[in-house]
Structure 1
C-alpha cells in the first residue's frame, strides 16, 4: 500500500510517499481501507514533533479517516469486513490503509458520505463538546468565533446556530468572512482591518458576548476577553497563531467570566460514554442534513505535503481532504 511518511521531523515538504507493507491486525485491532482522510492543524504539529502525542519515526500523519473495514484481528466484535466506519486514529491516516484499535472506530449510518464523515470528528466533535458541555451555550446567547473560516471555526458557526445562538464570525479576509456568512454567521468582523473589541461592542449593543470560541490565541485573545459579557465563557481550543497568550486574570475577575479549556482528546479518554453519546448526536445531525461540513479542497494522497502547507500557513478555508484511489473510485453518497 502507499503511505505518506514522516521519516524525520520537519515541515510538510520533508514528507515522502512510499510503498510499504500492508499492516496485519493483532488482537483487538482493525485494518481499515481509507477512502478519505481529513487534514487538520494538529497534523502540521505532529510531523515537527510539536504535538502532545509523539509517535515513533517513521509514521504517517492523519488523525481521522473514513473508509471500510478490510480485516479484523482476534477478539474484535461488532465490526466486520465491508463495514463503513470513521477511524479516529490519532496518526497513520495519510495512507491507503490504517491499522487502529477497534475501540477507535465509529460505525457510519447509511447515506452518510465518506468525505463528510472524515471531516466530522476532530472539528465538529471539538466544537460540539466545547459549546454543549464546556460552555453550556443557551438559545439567544451570543457566540464570537475567532479564526472562523477554518474547519474548526466553521463547525462552531454551524453548531452555534443549530443550538440557537447568535453568531459573530471573525476572520482575516473578506473572502473568508463570505464563507462564514454562507454557513450561517449573523455578523462578521474582519480583524485585519477592523478593531475587534470596538466591533464586538457595536454588534452586541455594548453588552459583550456570552461565549468566545478561540482556536487562534496570540494577539486576539486579550481584546476578545475584554469583550466578554457578565458570566461569559471563554473557550480555549488551540493556538494556530503559534503564540500561547497570557491574559491578565484581573479581566476574569472584573467580567465574572470563566476561561474554559477544551481538550477533546482528553475528554474522549476520560468520559467515553459521554463521548459516544455526543458522537451519536453528531452523526444523527449529519445524516439528517442539519450539519454539512464545508469541504473546500481535495488533494490526492501524493499531494499531502501541499495540503498540509496550506493548513500550516493558515491559508485554508473550510475543510481540506485527502483522497485515495479507492475513495475517488467510489460513488459519492448524498449526505
Structure 2
C-alpha cells in the first residue's frame, strides 16, 4: 500500500510517499480502507517532535479518517467489511489503509460524505466538549471565538449558534470575517498579527471589549493562545469561562489577578482526555453532532482537498494559517 511517511524530524516537506506493508488488525481492531483524512495542527507538530505523542519512525501523520472497514481483528463484533466509519487514528491516516481500535471508530451515516465525515471528529468533538461540558454555554450568552476561521473556530461558530449563543468571531483578515459571518456569526472583528507590545495589547483588548459589548463575553473559546490570550481574557464577563483549546501562537502567560478581578474561570479543554476517561460521553457527543448535521445546523467547511501525494502541502497550508475551515486529503475512492 502507499503511505506518506515521516522518515526524519522536520517539516511537511520531509514526507516521502512510499510503498509499505499492509497493516494487520489485532484484537479489538479494525483495518480501514481510507477514503479521506482531515488535517489538523497536531499533524504539523508531530512531524517536528513537538507533540506529546512521538511515534517511532517511519510513520504516517494524519489523526482522523473516514473510510470503509476492510478486515476485522480477533474478537471484534458488530462490524462487517464494507461498513462506513469515521475514526481517530492519532497518526497513520495519510495512507491507503490503517488499523484503528474499535473504541475510536464511529459509524458514518449513509448520507454524509466521507470528506465531511473525516473533518468532524477532532474539531467538532473538541468544540462540543468545550462549549457544552467545559463552557456550559447557555442560550442568550455571548461567546467570543478566537481564530474563528480555522477548523475549530468554524465549529465553535456553528455549535455556539446551535446552543443559542450570540457569537462574536475574531479573525485575522476581512476575508475571514466575511466567511465567519456567512457561517452564522452575529458579529466579526479583525485583529492584527502578533507579537504585540504593551500598547498594541491594550488596543487589542479594547477591540475585544467593543466587539462583545459592555457586559463582556460569558465564554471565550481560544484555540490560538500567544499574545491574543490576555487581551481576550480582559474582555470576559463577570463569572465568565475562558476555554483553553490550543496554542498555535504560543503558550501564553496569563496574569491570574484577572481571574480574581473578573470572578472568572480558566478551563482546559482536552477532548482526547475525555475519550480516554469517558468514552460513553464522547459517543453521546458524536450522536448529537450527527443530529445537528442532519438538521443543517453544522457542516464541516472544507476549503481545500489534496491528493495523497500532496499531503505535505496540505499540512503546510494549515501551518501557514491560510485555511478557512478544514483541509482534507482524499486518499481513495468512496
Please, what TM-score do these two structures have when normalized by structure 2?
Answer: 0.95
Q: 1:246 — aligned with what?
A: 253
Q: 1:295 — aligned with what?
A: 302
Is the 8 Å Cα contact of residues 200 and 209 (structure 1) preserved in structure 2?
A: no
Q: Secondary structure at the match of 2:215?
A: coil
Report Cα offsets for 1:239-274 as digits up to 9, x if no partner: 011x21010000000000000000110111011111
Give, in whole Å, the separation in 1 of the partners of 2:307 and 2:24.
25
Is the 8 Å Cα contact of residues 109 and 287 (structure 1) preserved in structure 2?
A: no
Residues 1:281 and 2:321 aligned together: no
Give, in whole Å, the separation in 2 of the partners of 1:189 and 1:119.
26
Q: 2:230 — aligned with what?
A: 222
Q: 1:95 — aligned with what?
A: 95
Could you tell me which runs of 5 or more consecutive residues in structure 1 were left unpaired when the two chains were aligned: 331-335
Aligned residues: 326
How far 1:202 sits from its partner (Å)?
A: 2.4
| Farther-moved stretch of structure 1 (190-199 vs 298-307) | 190-199
Is the 8 Å Cα contact of residues 87 and 105 (structure 1) preserved in structure 2?
A: yes
Q: 1:304 — aligned with what?
A: 311
Q: Secondary structure at the match of 2:304?
A: strand
RMSD of aligned residue pairs (Cα, Å): 1.2
Residues 1:235 and 2:243 aligned together: yes
Could you tell me which runs of 5 or more consecutive residues in structure 2 were left unpaired when the two chains were aligned: 194-199
Q: 1:184 — aligned with what?
A: 184
Give, in whole Å, the separation in 2 of the partners of 1:314 and 1:201.
25
Residues 1:262 and 2:269 aligned together: yes
Q: 2:204 — aligned with what?
A: 196
Give, in whole Å, the separation in 1 of the partners of 2:210 and 2:107.
45
How far 1:302 sits from its partner (Å)?
A: 0.3
Report Cα offsets for 1:50-77 as digits up to 9, x if no partner: 1111111111100100000001111001
Q: Secondary structure at the match of 1:325?
A: coil
Give, in whole Å, the separation in 2 of the partners of 1:288 and 1:18.
41
